[in-house]
Chain A
């Protein structure tokens, strides 16, 4: 028995409410609490890992299919992960050259500082990525993760 049910019964005992009112209140309370029990539980901490990075380019609706470009690319996340891990193979001298080249382009990034745990974090962050662009010609470009 919940606190609310107890309160209703106490009010009935003190004759503050009638039996009909108590009955209606208990029913209303029961349906509310029953409804709460049936609410689906949202699983926490079990966010599905993204499997693919998708890039799609679709022509505008109603465009002639013979004169329209369509692109549909699906890249497994494992391939991105493996590609980033390849950076660990680059010797220090080459890393310095890459850093210098990036600095020349105005990008202040140290390639040496990329660690495996950073890669996982990066891939995890990609799960929230969604790019949706519509060009002036009506083409729709979408980049998303699934």
Chain B
């Protein structure tokens, strides 16, 4: 399994605003894990209720797939520079 990204760099610059942020994802992951554990009984309930409709499987597997997608964002880089605006997003 891939390692998750540790930092997210966001930078937006236009004539009115200048905004830059280094988001420490490695600090947010434990918080997200705690929230997930707290919410897990509700998720389980949703899985049981939704199972006959076919969406229960989605509810069961979605957290795992979401984690995989999050891990895969490592290395993602978006850099858009216009005449007036600059937007940069990078997952490190």
- Show the binding face of A for B, using Cβ within 8 Å: 51-52, 66-76, 78-79, 81-83, 85-86, 89-94
A82 to B68, CA, bound (A): 7
Contact A76 B74 (CB under 8 A): yes
- Show the binding face of B for A, using Cβ within 8 Å: 2, 53-55, 57-58, 61-62, 65, 68-69, 71-83
Contact B72 A82 (CB under 8 A): yes
Contact B69 A73 (CB under 8 A): no
Contact A71 B80 (CB under 8 A): yes
- Say whether, besides A89-B57, A91-B58, A68 and B69 are in contact (CB < 8 Å): no
Contact A75 B69 (CB under 8 A): no
Total number of residue pairs linking A and B with CB closer than 8 Å:
66
- Say whether, besides A86-B65, A92-B54, A78 and B2 are in contact (CB < 8 Å): yes
Additional A-B contacts beyond A66-B83, A79-B73 (5; CB < 8 A):
A74-B75, A76-B73, A78-B2, A83-B69, A92-B54
Contact A85 B65 (CB under 8 A): yes
Query: For residue A74, which residues in chain B have a CB less than 8 angstroms away from its CB?
Result: 75-78
CB proximity of A130 to chain B, nearest CB, Å: 19
Query: For residue B74, which residues in chain A have a CB less than 8 angstroms away from its CB?
Result: 76, 78
